[in-house]
Each structure stands twice: as structure tokens, then as C-alpha cells.
Amino acid sequence: MKETKVLCISFDTAVSDLRCAALKQAGYTVTATIDVKEALHYLSRERFDLVIVGHRFATADKYLLAVEAEEKANIPVLLVCGAAAEEVIPAAARVYAWEGTEGLLFAASDLLSGETGGARQAPAQRDGELYQRPAHGCAMLFRDDDEDDELFRFADRAEAGRLLGSKLVAYAGQEGVIVLGLPRGGVPVACEVARVLRVPLDVLVVRKLGTPGQKELAMGAIAPGGVRVLDLSTVKQLDVPNEVIEEVAAAERKELERQESEYRGKRPPLVVAGKTVILVDDGIATGSCILAAIAAVREQGAARVVVAAPVAPANARSVIGIEADEVISLAEPEIFFAVSQWYEDFSQISDEQVRSLLERSIRSSSVPVAA
């Protein structure tokens, strides 16, 4: 079976990995880059069957560059965008509708069918196609903002972890690097990250401090070592009395200690002092828990703190970036409702699953633990 090679050039880093993953799953051999010079280098050395260029907004200049690349390389180019300048659309050889991953795969398959030259005749009701015209320019695929969730959504936490691990390859196999997952949901993600990077895995138990009557709304978080972080704006807005904060914190401290005992038994935690610590969760909402985790590992002497999560809203990411040395995420939405909306399967993780994942990871590595 002939190998079909695709070069993906994306300037929207939040979707680049997911778009490439969909193409790979469909059987394409994918090379990805976010750098134009690197893309030109690839084109000069390899023969590709299709080039996909991603932009949020396709200006006339960006469109002409895509057309020029198509003519020079003599291969089809698909320009993926959310919107385009008025003068661009009439010039396109073919325009496709965006229907999540299926729309991308349809457009790629259609362009690779060998019908890109001359006038194109196609069934009027062809799925994914808006309309057609003579091929005197490159093809365009418009993605609808309302359908972004379908593209971004992860199958489950394991898939999210594998994709996240691919963004952290600079730390692969390095001594002095450890991964700490935040239970419960962050542990399946962290397990895959640690496996991809071939580094030790452990948990860092952090407990959210829920507001009275709205336990899912965080007013802060606690972490080992007596660390406590408060969201003062939430506390002030809801006028939460100090005695209520202390009461909630005391209850969560007991649960934190129970979980640490449940997950580790008599096994001490990994050494953090002097290490590069990668903190992993399945998503970041308010950021309270991850801020408490950062404070906890800083207190233990971590040399470098990297925060990694599949999805982190832009506002929370900017706050976390002040405290962490590096923040890595796959999606950074401006509009954010809940972590669960980014997963097909967001099943609750049990204590037993967390313990099982940790035990499996420990069996595959032997690392120093804290004295």
C-alpha cells in the first residue's frame, strides 16, 4: 500500500497536535511544523502528497503564499481557516465546509483523489462541500467556531496524556525529571505523559476548597506541607467568613491525608528537591489546585516547575504562567465552561484506579524516594 505523506503547517498551536492525530489515525504519514522556514526545508528534501496550512484568518497575502507553494511544489495545498478576506474566497479552487475531524479528512481525501486539475464536476450534494469552481487556486476548508469542540475533544484522559506527552518531548529520558499527577483525574493523563517521557511518576494530592452550597466552585485549595491558596476575589464576592474557610480546609485536610495513605500505603513520595517537576492535571478551570501544587513543590525545593494540562483557559494559563517556569497545554480556549466538555469520555476515576496506575508505573521503574 502506497504511503501518503502530508505536511501540516499550523500557526494555531492549540489545534495542531489534534489535527495531526486525526490524520495519522486515518492512515496518513504526517510531518508537522509551526515554522515556515522549517516547512520550506521539508519541502526541499521530501516529496509530499498534500500540504495543509492552518490560519485563523486567511488574508490575501496568506492565500497567495499557499497558491505559490502549490505551484512550486506541484502538489495540492489545503488552506484551513476560520474566516477569510472577501477577495480570497472567489479565488479558491474548491471550498469545503468544516464538519469537525470528518470535514478535514474528507477534504484531504478529495484533494488526493487526483481530480485537482481543470474544471471539477462533482455531485451537488457531496458531503462536506459548499460549492465548486474551476481549479485556478488552492483549496480552502472553513472551520465553524461552533464546531471547534468536535475537533478539540479528546477521546479520554489516556489519549489526552499521549498528546500532551508529545508536547513535552524535550524532557524525555532526562535524569532529574519527575511527573506528578493530581488525583484523581490528572493521574491517567500523567501516567501516559510519564510513559511517553520515560520518567518516574507519582501523585501530588491537592484538595479543592469548595464554597458553601457550591462545592464545585473553588475558593482555594490545599496541598501537602500545610500549603493553602485562596481565591480572594471569590471569597470576597461571596463574603465567605474566615471560620467557614477554616472548617472547609480542616475537612479537606483529613481527606488529603486519607488519599495519600490510600494511594501510597507505606511507600514514601518521590524526591522533589533539585528536580524538574512536571505537574499534570486533566484540565485547569480556576487554577486554584494547580497553584497550590506549584507552591507545594517549590517549598520542597523543586529546581524547575512545569505545568502541563490538555486544556487550560487563556485567563487561568496567564495566571499560572507567573508562578510556574513553563506552562504546556493543547487547547487554550477564550470561552471555557468546564473541563468535561473537552472529553468524549470523562468518567469518574476511582481511588482503586489511581492506586493501580501508580503501582503499574512503579513496577516499570526504580527511582529514589524521599528519606
Same domain, 287 and 340: yes
Average pLDDT score over residue span 27-34: 88
Domain that holds residue 172: 157-363
Give the whole-number percent of the chain exceeding pLDDT 90: 44
Following CA atoms 266, 270, 271, 277 in sequence, which dihedral angle do they give, to the nearest 10 degrees?
A: -150
Q: Which three cell numbers stand for residue 188?
A: 491517567
Domain boundary among 108, 123, 152: 152
CATH number of domain containing 194: 3.40.50.2020
Cβ atoms of 317 and 307 within 8 Å: the answer is: no
pLDDT value of residue 117: 37
Same domain, 141 and 163: no
SS3 220: strand
pLDDT value of residue 349: 95
Cβ atoms of 10 and 30 within 8 Å: the answer is: no
- Mean pLDDT check: name the lowest of 15-29, 132-146, 310-324: 132-146
pLDDT value of residue 367: 47
What is the DSSP code string of 109-124? HHHTTT--SS-----T
Q: Is residue 110 part of a domain?
A: yes
Q: Is residue 220 part of a domain?
A: yes
Q: Which three cell numbers stand for residue 187?
A: 493521574
pLDDT value of residue 130: 35
Same domain, 33 and 117: yes
State the total domains in the chain.
Answer: 2
pLDDT value of residue 15: 56
* Total Cβ atoms within 10 A of residue 127: 11
Q: How confident is the model at residue 340 (pLDDT cuts 50, 70, 90)?
A: confident
Average pLDDT score over residue span 123-130: 34
pLDDT at 34 over 80: no
Domain boundary among 152, 186, 219: 152
pLDDT value of residue 323: 95
pLDDT at 209 over 60: yes
Which is higher by pLDDT, 50 or 82?
50
